[in-house]
Amino acid sequence: MAGLIGLALTSCDDKSDLGVMQKNEAPVVVPVDGVALKSLYASTGNAINLQDYEEIVNIPLVDIAISDQFSATSTVSGTVEVADNPDFKDAVEIALFAEDVAEGNEEVNKAAGDNTRALKGYVEVSAWEDAFVEFYDVDPTPNVNYLRYKLRLVDDNQSVILYNDNGEEWFDAMEFMVTPFDAELDVKASYTFHYTLDGKEQTPIVMFHNPDKHVYVDPTFNASITVTANPAEGEGEVETVNAIEWWVTPTGEDTMYGVMGEDPAEPKGTLGVIGGGEESAIRGQIDQAGTFKVEVNMLELTYSVQVAPPSLYVMSVSQITFEEASQLGTEDYVTYSGMAGVMGVWGLTGQDAWKPTLFVNDPAVNVTNDGFNRSGGFKLETSGNVLNNNSGISFPGTAGLGYFQVDLQANTYKVYQCKEMGLVGDFNQWGTDEATKEDIPDAELKGSRQTKYMVWSGTLKVEKDQGWKVRANHDWAVNFGLAEGSSFHADGEPINLSMGGDNIVATESGEFTVTVYFQRTLQEDGTMSPYYLTVVPVEAAK
């Protein structure tokens, strides 16, 4: 067989170079050294329903003709790249194979010359389906795929690459709207989490809503349950636990999904399998005191039971001990919030332990979109998914203060960067218009890496009876005022703060050093210590 074979393909659209989407025009067949081919793309109208090929198994993509100057055993093989983007980044490769067919495309046969053999190039339906799932998981709604292919002519144990008219290997990059197989997922519109306390069923929790049983984002949901204990009544007696039982039903149905197995008892950290409508499915049981997070996956039919943390730590690479880390508080063991200093790669973890580890990093999302920006510090406001894995979010060279909100039921987080901190009040007419920032700005507070951005300090000149507050970024998204039961005093003792609290009204005039402390800890009673500030006269501070 002669050395290198070139294969020229052109289109009615002269923009047929690699990477340019060809919408509805079939390439014109051009013979080169006894080989010709024609893409079958256009016959699909740039849309393909994989379900149409369920019984056929293979999808034809190209008509091929080979003249008799090649041996009877000659054939064509190739590779198809499938991607969810026109740049074919992270494309999935699937095999293209050719088979002899009884009748070929007359146009292709004529272009290849006399005495031709007709072949058709196929890809397996299952291979394309696997590529689709790679990009879109098991969402069976139509989505865009991009295809291109390269080919080799194999003859007498020799293999020669076929090039297009630009001297490139890849042919016919095109865009398709692809409808995959319906996964027919047994996922209902919503599920209800039931539980009993002292034998009495409590208010059920609707745990998951899905508008179409075949389309969902994530069939995993959570419920937080508190199990109480009765103290020992007398000497030698032991406390008793008010154990609960739990189970799940599709909303409005009687089918019970419960624990599979003989032992329903579930200590912390238990993993297991649930089943529905089976005799072996029984109610789950929690017979230990504490607050627990029950997580159920209704696609994989699995569950886990873990101790719900009374606080979440925001851990950074430079914070070796839990004492150095910021803590987020909670009132319902589902939503956690608070201020946190971030010092490099960061993640979330449960109270004073690495279980449950809830690092926030979605590997499918670029890190610059996932919370923090490599070049300019972390974004003013960002959000993302909370996943149970061990990959923290990295933002090299960046540190600062942020207001964190985490929802362990929705598995989401949100971070608001407190790039600037200041004091605002009557002394500066409560700030200025954010768009112009004219006249008198907020009184500046400064934080530092040495304090892990949890302590901010500045000076305030204020008159008696003037009110003021602490806020971030010259606006009110994150602001702190006087906590209930606390009052202004300039003796250096803590003045407790709360998010969105009352104005801090000065009871005396003067110039003061104000220091704000955002570090807080979990107290013995299960509540978080408050944020606070101290006020001392400037002269006394010196």
Return the structure tokens found at 414.
Answer: 């949100």
According to the model, what pLDDT value does residue 16 have? 29
Q: Is the pLDDT score of 96 beyond 90? A: yes
Long-range Cβ contacts of 7-10 (<8 Å, 24+ apart): 7/32, 7/35, 7/37, 7/151, 7/162, 7/163, 7/164, 7/165, 8/32, 8/164, 8/165, 9/37, 9/39, 9/164, 9/165, 9/171, 9/172, 10/165
Determine whether 109 is exposed, middle or buried from the number of CB atoms within 10 Å of its CB (0-12, 13-18, 19+). Answer: buried
Percent above pLDDT 90 for the chain: 22
According to the model, what pLDDT value does residue 205 have? 82
Range of weakest confidence among 206-220, 328-342, 425-439: 206-220
Q: How far apart are CA 225 and CA 527, in angstroms?
A: 18
According to the model, what pLDDT value does residue 472 have? 92
Percent above pLDDT 70 for the chain: 73
At 135, is the secondary structure helix, strand, or coil? Answer: helix
Q: Is the pLDDT score of 196 beyond 80? A: yes
What would the mean pLDDT of 81-87 be, rounded to a whole number? 92
Determine whether 373 is exposed, middle or buried from the number of CB atoms within 10 Å of its CB (0-12, 13-18, 19+). Answer: middle
> Which tens digits make up the pLDDT trace of 209-244?
665 555 555 677 777 788 888 887 777 777 788 888
According to the model, what pLDDT value does residue 102 have? 86
According to the model, what pLDDT value does residue 446 have? 96
Top-confidence residue, 444 or 362: 444
Top-confidence residue, 12 or 246: 246
CA–CA distances in Å: residue 314 to residues 327, 328, 414, 472: 6, 7, 13, 20
Determine whether 350 is exposed, middle or buried from the number of CB atoms within 10 Å of its CB (0-12, 13-18, 19+). Answer: buried
Model-wide pTM > 0.75: no
According to the model, what pLDDT value does residue 368 have? 27
Range of weakest confidence among 77-91, 188-202, 472-486: 188-202
According to the model, what pLDDT value does residue 317 have? 62
> Which tens digits make up the pLDDT trace of 109-145?
888 887 889 999 999 998 998 888 888 876 667 889 9
Q: Is the pLDDT score of 392 beyond 60? A: no
According to the model, what pLDDT value does residue 30 have? 47
Look over the chain and give the mean of its residue pLDDT values, rounded to a whole number.
76
Other Cβ atoms within 10 Å of 19 Cβ, number: 12
Q: Is the pLDDT score of 438 beyond 90? A: no
Top-confidence residue, 520 or 33: 520
> Which tens digits make up the pLDDT trace of 134-186?
888 766 678 899 999 998 888 776 788 888 777 788 888 888 888 888 766 66
Top-confidence residue, 468 or 129: 468
Q: Is the pLDDT score of 194 beyond 80? A: yes
> Which tens digits make up the pLDDT trace of 270-312?
556 666 555 567 888 888 777 887 888 887 778 878 777 888 8
What would the mean pLDDT of 460-465 be, rounded to a whole number? 95
Top-confidence residue, 434 or 296: 296
Top-confidence residue, 86 or 314: 86
Using alpha carbons only, give the angle 513, 516, 521 rounded to the nearest 5 degrees. 150
Contact in structure between 338 and 326 (CB atoms under 8 Å): yes
Q: Is the pLDDT score of 360 beyond 90? A: no
At 348, is the secondary structure helix, strand, or coil? Answer: strand
According to the model, what pLDDT value does residue 254 have? 82
What would the mean pLDDT of 61-67 be, rounded to a whole number? 89
What residues contact 1, with CB distance under 8 A and at least 6 apart? 70, 153, 155, 156, 158, 160
Q: Is the pLDDT score of 422 beyond 70? A: yes
